[in-house]
Amino acid sequence: MYNIVLAEDHILVREGIKKIIEGFPGLKVVGEVGDGSELLELLKSLTVDMAIIDITMPSLPGIEATREIKKAYPGVKVLILTMHKKKEYLNNAIAAGIDGYLLKEDAPKELLNAIDKIRQGMIYVSPLLSGDLANLYVRSQRQSAEDAEPLSPREIEIIKLIAEGKSSKEIAEILFLSFRTIQNHRTRIMKKLNLKKNTDLVRYAIRKGYAVSAIP
């Protein structure tokens, strides 16, 4: 049996969701609450596979409740059930660790599908918002690419020494490399980072945590 708890402050909505769930074999609603704080208390005493949570609730809103659940009960899946269509809500919910985001207007048709997808380990998003999810994914991938370290381990080693004020000759001696090799590394580093001056290189090292003091 797949155990589900409902956190929704509107009783009629809660009853409707419960009716859909319990009409499907293998699913069972084992608890119902009206706010996030009650939900966290309930989880202490139940074995739960999934929590279906409204975003807008008294005491502890759904996004904050999700964060707490994911910290205390990482194995519990969280499906947000909400009227909010703005991508900011979806973005915040994904950042909090939700496993699904279902609009209430889609619930009659999509609730069981959402539960099934999440049980399979997938992330579910209402069809009306699936385009927004794709946009969020593209933006996150671009940000990850921007945040990635473009330098090789050897180049990082060299940039650390440059930030310490070492000359190319000194770096060559420390690393047992030729002066020409160090100069070539310097050129590649500056090109990769699109920098023109040595002071910019040092500032980059400071910003990335490779050095502890900056050149003004």
**Domain for residue 215, yes or no?**
no
Nearest to 105 by CA among 129, 82, 79: 82
Average of per-residue pLDDT values in the chain: 86
Average pLDDT over residues 98-107: 92
Helix (H, G, I), strand (E, B) or coil at 96: helix
> Confidence band (pLDDT; 50, 70, 90) for 142?
low
**Residue 51: its pLDDT value, please?**
97
Within this chain, do residues 102 and 203 fall inside the same structural domain, yes or no?
Answer: no
Domain that holds residue 58: 2-144
**Residue 77: its pLDDT value, please?**
96
pLDDT tens by residue, 4-25: 999 999 999 999 999 999 999 9
> Confidence band (pLDDT; 50, 70, 90) for 146?
low
Pick the last residue of a domain from 144, 162, 187: 144
pLDDT tens by residue, 168-182: 999 999 988 899 999
> Confidence band (pLDDT; 50, 70, 90) for 90?
confident
Average pLDDT over residues 74-85: 93
CA–CA separation, 55 and 61 (whole Å): 6
